[in-house]
Structure 1
Amino acid sequence: MRDAEKEQVLRDVLEHKGEMVSGVVERIADHSDGKTVYLELGKAEGVLAPEEQIPDEVLRPGQYLKVLLLDERKRGRGAQVNVSRAHKALVRRLLEFEIPELQSGAVIIRALAREPGVRSKVAVSAHQEGIDPVGACVGPKGVRIRSVVGELGTERVDIIPWADEPERLVANALSPAQVSRVEIDRESRTATAHVPDNQLSLAIGKDGQNARLAAKLTGWRIDIKPEPAGAAEANATAVAGAPPPGDAAG
C-alpha cells in the first residue's frame, strides 16, 4: 500500500475513533508478551494487543468480533489501527447499539465501571418521564442485556439506577446485596455501608469484586460493615424509598 493511500485509509477509519466497529479475525500471532490478534476492518487491519483482550477469551480465525477503535498503530506496516475488547467504553457502545432509549437520549448512562471478562456495573437514569431506565436496558425478559452479554462471553453486566444522593447511589451500587444504611463522610469522601450479616459476603463479592466495582462506579471509597439482623431492620429507613437496584446477569 502506497503511503498516500495508507494515510487516506487511516483518515477514513480514524473518523470513527472511540466507536464500536465489527471485524473478522484474520490471524493470531504468538509474541513474548502474549497472543496478538489481527482483524480485517475493511481496508484497514485492526491489532488487538494482549492487554486489550478480554482475559481468557478464546478467539479463532474467521470469527466475527466487535471491538472499540482506539488509534493508529505507529509501528504497524500498512494501514493498522489499535482496537480493544477490554476498554470500558466497549460496554457503553454495546448498550447503545442494543437499546433504543439510549440512542434517543431518553435514558442516559451516568457512570460505568468494568473488570473485563468478569463484571461491569452501569448506572443509568431517565431523561424522560414515564421511563424505567433499568427496565429499558434489561429489556423484556432480559432480552436486551442478554444480547450485550452475548458479545462479552461470560462477563456479567449489572444495571443499577443512578441517584444524585450519594447514600442511595452507594446502596444501589452494592447490588445485589441489600444495604441497611449508608453514612457519608464528605471530607474523606468515604461511604460506610451497613449491611445485614447474611449480606456481607454478597456486598463484598468474590475477591472484593462487588465492593471494588461499586467504589469505581460511585467515586466514593466504600467501607462495608456487618450488623445484626435486628439492627439492620431498625435502620432500614436510611435507604427506604430508594428504587430497588436492577441486577442483570448474562
Structure 2
Amino acid sequence: MNADFISAIQELGKEKGIDPELLFQAVDDALVAAYKKNTGTNQNVRVEMNKETGEIHVYAQRTVVEGEADGINEMTLEDAQAINPQYLAGDIVEVEVTPKNFGRIAAQNAKQFVVQRIREAERGQVYERFQSRANDIVTGIIERMENQNVYIDLGKVEAVLTPNEQIPGEIYQYHERMKTYIVEVKRTNKGPQIMVSRTHPGLLKRLFELEVPEIHDGVVEIKSVAREPGMRSKISVYTADSNVDPVGACVGHKGMRVQTIVNELRGEKIDIVKYSEDPAQYVANALSPAKVVKTNVNEADKICRVVVPDYQLSLAIGKEGQNARLAAKLTGWKIDIKSETQAAEEAAVEPAPVEEA
C-alpha cells in the first residue's frame, strides 16, 4: 500500500466532511479481514500502518498462559519469557506475522471497506442533520408517487408523505416544489427515513413564523393552533407590546402575509384571533367571524355558554359545526352556542327560585 493511497484517504475525508481517522480505522479493519481471509486463520491480529509511507505490519496477539497453550491465540509462559523475561501470565505477546506482498493483497479489500464506511458516515451525517430539524419545515421537490405515498427529494435524502399525512383532495404534481413538516426521522439499514406531513398543526405554526417577522422575533406569540387540513384553521396570537396589533401583524398589509400561507396550503381558510387570559373573551374571539352577545363561563366543567344574534347562529356554528368545533379545539373549552331567541325562551321556562318560609 503506497503513500498515494494514504493521501487519497485523507483528501477523501476532507471532501466528504468525514474524519480521516474514521477512514483509517476502516482500512485497519479491512487489513485484518484480508489477512484472516488470505491465511485461512482466525487468530487475533493487530495491523499497524504507517500513515506517511503506507508501510504495513501485522502482529499476531497471543495471551500468555501457565501450563500448555491451547490454540493459536495462546503462548506458554516459558515461550513468552524466552522473548522477554518480564512477561507474566495474562500478558499479551505480539509476534510479527506480516506476509510477503501483503499490501498488494489487502489494497482491494481496503478500498471496499473505505467505500462502505464512507456510505455509513454519510448516512449518519444526514440522520443527525435531519434529526435536529424534527418539528421544522423543509422544502423539497416531488420525485415520485407509489402506493399513495408521495416521495419528496430533499437533496441527499428522500422524505415520505404517507396518505394519512396528506391534505384531503390535494393534488401533487411531479417536480413541484412543496413545503412539508418533519414529524419523525427514522434510522434504517438503508439510511435515514424522513417522515413528513402536510396536515400537522405545526406546519401552520412554522409557516407563520417564517412569514411574520414579529413572530420570528418573539414580539408576537402563537398561543394555540386548531386545524382541519384543507378546509379551515384557527390560530390565536398574543403580544405583551401594547404598540403592536398581533392579529394585524399576522394578516399583513392588505392581507398579503396570511394570503401567502393560504396559497401554500392550497386555499385553506385561516382565522386569526386574539388570545385573552379571560376565558369568556377568548371563546368569543375564537368564534370569529361570528359576533358574541353574551358569555357564561362554568369553570368547574370548563364549559362556556355563548349567546349570539339570531341571524349569526349558523355562522357561529359553521358548516357541519366546523367553526364551533375549531373554536373549542383552539381554546380547550366546551362551547354551547344559543341564539338570542333560544336563550330568551330557556330563561322564560326556568322555574323561579323558591323562597324559604
TM-score range, shorter chain: 0.7 to 0.9
| Distance in 2 of aligned mates of 1:178 and 1:75 | 52
| Distance in 1 of aligned mates of 2:281 and 2:189 | 48
Task: Verify the 8 A CA contact 1:105 1:127 in the aligned structure 2.
Answer: no
Question: Hey, what does 2:126 align to over in structure 1?
Answer: 9
Task: Verify the 8 A CA contact 1:98 1:144 in the aligned structure 2.
Answer: yes
Question: Hey, what does 1:240 align to over in structure 2?
Answer: none
CA deviations over 1:9-66 (Å, ceiling 9, x no partner)? 1111211111111000000112xxxx10000111111100111111110001100000
CA deviations over 1:181-205 (Å, ceiling 9, x no partner)? 1100111110001111111100000
The alignment's TM-score, normalised by the length of structure 2, stands at: 0.61
Consecutive unaligned residues in structure 2, runs of 5 or more: 1-115, 345-357
| Distance in 2 of aligned mates of 1:132 and 1:212 | 26
Residue 185 (structure 1) aligned with residue 301 (structure 2): no
Task: Describe the shift of the 1:228–1:38 C-alpha distance in structure 2 as closer, same or farther (beyond 3 A).
Answer: same
Task: Verify the 8 A CA contact 1:53 1:85 in the aligned structure 2.
Answer: yes
Consecutive unaligned residues in structure 1, runs of 5 or more: 232-250
| Distance in 1 of aligned mates of 2:187 and 2:335 | 41
SS at match of 1:110: strand
Question: Hey, what does 1:106 align to over in structure 2?
Answer: 219
CA RMSD of aligned residues (A): 1.7
Task: Verify the 8 A CA contact 2:252 2:258 in the aligned structure 1.
Answer: yes
The alignment's TM-score, normalised by the length of structure 1, stands at: 0.87
Task: Verify the 8 A CA contact 1:191 1:222 in the aligned structure 2.
Answer: yes
Task: Describe the shift of the 1:51–1:119 C-alpha distance in structure 2 as closer, same or farther (beyond 3 A).
Answer: same
Task: Verify the 8 A CA contact 1:122 1:158 in the aligned structure 2.
Answer: yes
Matched residue pairs, number? 227
Alignment equivalent of 1:219, drawn from 305, 312, 332: 332
Residue 55 (structure 1) aligned with residue 150 (structure 2): no
After TM superposition, list the pairs within 5 Å mapping 1:1-250 onto structure 2: 2-30=119-147, 35-73=148-186, 77-228=190-341
Give the Å deviation of 1:80.
2.0
Please identify, of 145-154 and 124-133, the stretch whose mean Cα deviation from structure 2 is larger: 124-133
SS at match of 1:96: helix
| Distance in 1 of aligned mates of 2:245 and 2:279 | 20
Task: Verify the 8 A CA contact 1:10 1:44 in the aligned structure 2.
Answer: no
| Distance in 2 of aligned mates of 1:155 and 1:74 | 33
Give the Å deviation of 1:223.
0.6
Task: Describe the shift of the 1:207–1:75 C-alpha distance in structure 2 as closer, same or farther (beyond 3 A).
Answer: farther
Give the Å deviation of 1:75.
6.0
Task: Verify the 8 A CA contact 1:23 1:66 in the aligned structure 2.
Answer: yes
Larger Rg: 2
Task: Verify the 8 A CA contact 1:43 1:79 in the aligned structure 2.
Answer: no
| Distance in 1 of aligned mates of 2:333 and 2:166 | 28
